[in-house]
Amino acid sequence: MSPSRVLPSLDFTTFHNIVDGKPRGGEATYHGINGATETPLWEVPVASQQDVEDAVASATAAFPSWSHLPYSDRVKAVRAWGDEFAALHNEFTELLITECAKPKEMIAKYEVDLASKNVNAYSDLTLPEETLKMEDRTVHTRSVPVGIVACIWPVIVSINKMAPALLTGNCAIVKPSPFSPYTALKMVELGQQFFPPGVLQVLSGDEKLGPLLVEHPKIHKVSFTGSIPTGKAVMAAAAKTLKRVTLELGGNDAMIICPDVDIKTVAPQVVWGAFRNSGQACVCSKRIYIHEDIYDEFVATMVQTTANLKIGPLQNKMQFEKVKGFFEDSKAQGHEVLIGGDIPTGKKGYFASPTIIRNPPNDSRIIMEEPFGPIIPVQPWKSEQEIIARANDTNTGLGACIYSADVERAMRIGRDMECGSVWINSYEKPTAKACMSGHKESGIGGEGGESDMADFQAHQLCMAVVCVEQFDAQYLKKKKKRKGSSEA
């Protein structure tokens, strides 16, 4: 972007869909709710079927020129968009705080910083090509864009779908969560200053919008982040037109603590890894397994740390009610609550106290299901073989963490984890420079790194014969030789 270019300012109090490079309203509107105060937020339009058709038509028209633009030019456009997003760091941080009631210093600023860094991380990646030279021909394997991509992701890190989709030459239609549409709407609005009309669009809406996008015959890929049941519905709908899908779904990550760790150092990290963003992260520690030799001391340190921890509310009422169900179930089952276990009464907001449950049964709900909230079980373990089996006893496989002073031991345990990502001596910290994928019902495909870029592309094989006459002569000679051999 030229330093002399003057960009139009964004109004962070009005929100529109973006179709064909222009803002668009709608006959119907809805609004989000601030999770801390339960007050209604700004009205946003509900996209109609005609809006979907218009967005697809615009993307179809924009695709040929955008996909043929040199990769270096697409990188420049995406970087310029990311730079301007970074320049509006304070505005997007405040919007995210209002939209999701995230604590400013611990979460909101971090997520905006991360989104900016991820744009640059994706822009640093290259598109692989392979060349194979044979006796009579040269074989090129290259990657080409798949076409129009529907990006369905809640909140601000939808940039992890938009950036690779655009860099690889696709056009993107973004559908934000109806609970938190605002940051995505503004990010796409900002993008209109850097991309041709139709390259990057956004449609907000209700529960009818997702199926319209997923089932549309002219949308070629769906990249979805959300729950396992919704992911299964997306996959079933996409199968009607054999769309490519990337599904980043729920997880029930295990964190394994070996007996040789420094308790005072590791226990606070475990607490933060479990309760950051109030437990609302797909890749987040949900089950804590601590070796029996240090179990009591480690748990006591976790409780002490948790007592001083301040977390924000849950993002919406639906999730709040689900988490309340886990609290009520643990209480009904007589689980030992070490700290928390209650829903604050007499105050506004979807708040739940950070809660630690001591050694519930292996078949209890808090062990078998993902709460997606601030409640975790802590269980002791004795042998590696036993804990590996328990950690893998789940239908999900997103991530796992192992803490040990013996890195080789931690790596050995990690190799047997049935999940897409393993962190050694750290809680979950994904990076856009490497692919994070899900095993089992945690998803298909991955996000981050060159593997993620490849998921937004199709392979194309191109064989160039060195000399047609020479090739024909060699082919006929070989054919004659094979015929002679068969007659003999």
Strand pairing partners for 396?
Answer: 440
Q: What percent helix, strand, coil does the chain show, rounded to 5?
A: 40, 20, 35
Pick from 447, 429, 444: nearest CA to 397: 444
Strand pairing partners for 40?
Answer: 33
Query: In 233-352, where do the E strands start and end?
Result: 244-248, 253-257, 285-291, 336-339
- Phi, then psi, of 31 in degrees rounded to 5: -145, 155
Using CB atoms within 10 A of its CB, is residue 2 exposed (0-12), middle (13-18) or buried (19+)? exposed
33 in Cβ contact with 317 (< 8 Å) = yes
3 state DSSP class of 413: helix
Sign of CA dihedral 61, 63, 68, 72: positive
Q: What is the DSSP string of 348-384?
A: SS-----EEEES--TTSHHHHS---SSEEEEEEE--H
Q: Which residues contact 183 (CB under 8 A, 6 or more apart)?
A: 92, 95, 96, 99, 155, 156, 176
| Residue 298 CA, distance from chain mean position | 31
Pick from 92, 98, 230: nearest CA to 156: 92
Q: What is the DSSP string of 306-319?
A: HHT------SSHHH
3 state DSSP class of 197: coil
Classify residue 335 by its DSSP letter. P
Active site residues: 248, 282
